Structure 1
């Protein structure tokens, strides 16, 4: 009996998602169909219909999971300890110096290999 209840809820969720997508597609079509009306009016209507479509999505199971995920992500983001300006500047400076040093080392290694290759093939000096 439990499996039957889950199947019914899943079909209802699928129907809700399909209706929300259909409403959204119809509103986008209407936005372009009524091109001779005011752009501001069309944007307001499109945003209102999109908000209604999102409300329908949020009443479904996947929509509630998405909302819960967004809420949890926001809560985790508030827990993050962000670096200070000084730490950010120091880290950036270290990265830039390391990139410069590594670039110079690769250039020297490339020059060495090119010299060896010229010596072996007899090209150059």
Structure 2
């Protein structure tokens, strides 16, 4: 973390993080407790769709609040820079990928034969010595 991001922290960031943690905790606890509370109140089972929508909404709200903090903004900037770097990657062609895969398979097979031969030789030598 650079000194720039440390210097840009504000007291409001602490409040944002506490709110984000509170909404996240509400999603987790609500997911655990809501079906039982709903069943006690309405004597019916909570529809799964409502439960999932509630959890997703609270999680999105938590993430949205966290991303408005200075650390969240720095994280978004990091994601943008990573995307720019990802675009610069030169991916191998299908032929290059196939050739490299075949080379790896052949080398693994040859090494397996060598190790099998060495194991057999050493086993034979030990059996000669032990009797």
Q: TM-score range by the shorter chain?
A: 0.7 to 0.9
Contact kept? 2:8, 2:70, Cα under 8 Å:
no
Deviation at 1:101, TM superposition (A): 0.2
Counterpart of 2:53 in structure 1 is: 44
- Deviating beyond 6 angstroms after TM superposition, the runs of 4 or more aligned structure 1 residues are none
2:14 & 2:30 partners in 1: Cα distance? 24
Q: Deviations over 1:2-32 (max 9, x none)?
A: xxx94962x5433322221111111222223
- Give the corresponding residue for 1:76: 85
TM-score by length of 2: 0.78
Unmatched segments (≥5 aa) in structure 2: 1-5, 36-44
Q: CA RMSD in A?
A: 2.0
Q: Describe the superposition over 1:61-97 as per-residue Cα deviations: whole angstroms up to 9, x where unpaired.
A: 2211221122211221111111111111111111001
Higher relative contact order (CA 8 A, sep 6+): 2
Aligned length: 117
Unaligned stretches of 5+ in structure 1?
none
